[in-house]
Amino acid sequence: GQQVMQIPQYQHVQEGEDFTTYCNSSTTLSNIQWYKQRPGGHPVFLIQLVKSGEVKKQKRLTFQFGEAKKNSSLHITATQTTDVGTYFCAGQEYGNKLVFGAGTILRVKS
Amino acid sequence: NAGVTQTPKFQVLKTGQSMTLQCAQDMNHEYMSWYRQDPGMGLRLIHYSVGAGITDQGEVPNGYNVSRSTTEDFPLRLLSAAPSQTSVYFCASSYLPRGVEQYFGPGTRLTVT
């Protein structure tokens, strides 16, 4: 069945450093979503990517969808302590259910 | 709007006990789903529903039962709790089954001893 792999599992950065998490699917996706979960909280939707090669920005966050629609990345520029949490990608095959990656835990040291 | 609500927030069960986790949404969403979250494993789909009266199995349905008698409510029943069901459970809803944002509830932390 469809699998979504996410790396790294864990990243600890100094405040001000950049951070990137990568997501890879075993199959071609119709769309990919990104969620953020603060410690002790619930996942909150960040963005959805649909088009091949799409790049979207939200302030310091940049999201990319690969040309083959099988991989995606989330890059945070100049991390802040408010960025701490777990970032999940979730891929959806055409006509199929959403499959979540295992998540990347981000810790920011001030 | 309250969004997606879940009760209880915390629960401790003994092995073999049964219980129902409640989930409700007030956004008139047709699609609702249950996930469990375990360390290092992300969110895994247990059961989902595309509308009142319609339910289907997700990736890890064994040991769980659901029903959807109304658009608003989607309870998850643990039939005979096992330690392997110790997890955090999230209910989610969306107005379509795919291609749109999922709204998650605050979660229920369940421990089975």
What digits encode the pLDDT tens for the residues B85-105?
999 999 999 998 888 999 999
Q: What are the phi and psi torsion angles at A92 (to 5°)? A: -130, 120
Any B CB within 8 A of A39 CB: no
Give the pLDDT score at B45: 95
Quote the mean pLDDT of chain B: 96
Write out chain B residues lying below 8 Å of A101, CB-based.
Answer: 42
Residue A81 class from Cβ within 10 Å (0-12 exposed, 13-18 middle, 19+ buried)?
exposed
**Residue A96 clears pLDDT 80, i.e. is over it:** no
**Residue A95 clears pLDDT 90, i.e. is over it:** no
**Would the CB atoms of A33 and B102 count as touching at under 8 Å?**
yes
**Would the CB atoms of B99 and A48 count as touching at under 8 Å?**
yes
Per-residue pLDDT tens over the stretch B37-53: 998 888 999 999 999 99
Please state, for a pLDDT cut of 70, what percent of chain B lies above it: 100
Confidence of residue A15 (pLDDT cuts 50, 70, 90): very high
